[in-house]
């Protein structure tokens, strides 16, 4: 279902000017019902000016009247030529001036901890350009020595759900291509079948190669060599009598 342009501002207008239920407004504007309730309570969209869907050719008065009479009635968006392709806009998202200085730190975090993301995905997440991302990847950015990686979600540049969706999409693409990521590329996200399908890593150093063929049966077949009898301690003290030698010399 298509959403109206300026959906949140439209929801603000509907909350303030109609008796349509929160569920109907949420379904029409693509929001959560609790979010619409927050708009009514003044906790969400504070300071957002309402956007009249009737004067902007998105809804008719008859459609609003029908929704007010029947809580199960779903609002239908009127065809509006200016809204065609609105959700398919290309290019980076708008980033407030107060947060633009934080974008390099967010880019460095994404490049470091999510190398599977493409430049296009990073561009959409934090609202930047591909040359900026490339300069940070290659560490040629003019301020690279002072940039510290910071989670873009913590900076408020993107949502956790958007980041998770981008990472999942990147991993699914790599899975379709049949490539297994390295440990630095989140090996834990690779399926078990792909991980087991890789080359087996050597379990022992090559300097002691040959020990891997040693088995328990070898120890059973091998017979212990007989130990040499140790000389008795008394034998060291039973030396020949020197007097016997002197007698022989006299003779």
Whether 219 maps to a domain, the answer reads: no
Whether 224 maps to a domain, the answer reads: no
Q: Which of 82-96, 124-138, 172-186 has the lowest mean pLDDT?
A: 82-96
The pair of three-digit structure tokens given for residue 124, joined into one six-digit string: 């959409």
Residues 101 and 72 in one domain: no
Structure confidence at residue 243 as a pLDDT band (50, 70, 90): low
Whether 170 maps to a domain, the answer reads: yes
Residues 78 and 44 in one domain: yes
Beta strands in 146-238 (DSSP E): none
> Which of residues 71, 88, 105 is at a domain's end?
88
Residues 133 and 159 in one domain: yes
Residues 196 and 105 in one domain: yes
> Which of residues 200, 215, 243 is at a domain's end?
200
What's the domain count of the chain? Answer: 2
Cβ neighbors of 223 (< 8 A, separation 6 or more) are none
- In this prediction the pTM is 0.39
The pair of three-digit structure tokens given for residue 182, joined into one six-digit string: 């390295």
Q: Mean pLDDT, to the nearest integer, of 162-190? A: 72
The domain in which residue 83 lies consists of 7-88
Whether 227 maps to a domain, the answer reads: no
């Amino acid at each position: 279902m298509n959403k109206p342009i300026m959906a949140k501002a439209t929801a603000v207008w509907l909350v303030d000017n109609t008796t349509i239920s929160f569920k109907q407004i949420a379904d029409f504007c693509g929001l959560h019902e609790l979010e619409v309730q927050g708009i009514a309570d003044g906790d969400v969209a504070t300071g957002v000016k309402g956007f009249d869907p009737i004067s902007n050719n998105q809804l008719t008065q008859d459609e609003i009247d029908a929704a007010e009479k029947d809580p199960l009635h779903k609002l239908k968006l009127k065809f509006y030529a200016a809204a065609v392709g609105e959700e398919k806009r290309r290019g980076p998202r708008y980033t407030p001036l107060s947060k633009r200085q934080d974008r390099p730190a967010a880019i460095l975090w994404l490049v470091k901890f999510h190398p599977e993301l493409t430049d296009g995905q990073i561009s959409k997440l934090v609202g930047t350009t591909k040359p900026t991302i490339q300069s940070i990847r290659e560490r040629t950015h003019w301020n690279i020595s002072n940039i510290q990686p910071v989670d873009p979600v913590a900076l408020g540049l993107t949502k956790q759900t958007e980041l998770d969706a981008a990472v999942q999409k990147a991993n699914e693409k790599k899975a379709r291509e049949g490539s297994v990521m390295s440990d630095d590329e989140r090996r834990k996200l690779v399926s078990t079948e792909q991980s087991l399908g890789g080359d087996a890593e050597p379990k022992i150093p090559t300097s002691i190669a040959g020990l891997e063929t040693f088995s328990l049966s070898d120890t059973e077949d091998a017979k212990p060599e007989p130990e040499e009898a140790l000389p008795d301690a008394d034998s060291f003290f039973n030396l020949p009598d020197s007097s016997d030698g002197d007698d022989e010399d006299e003779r």
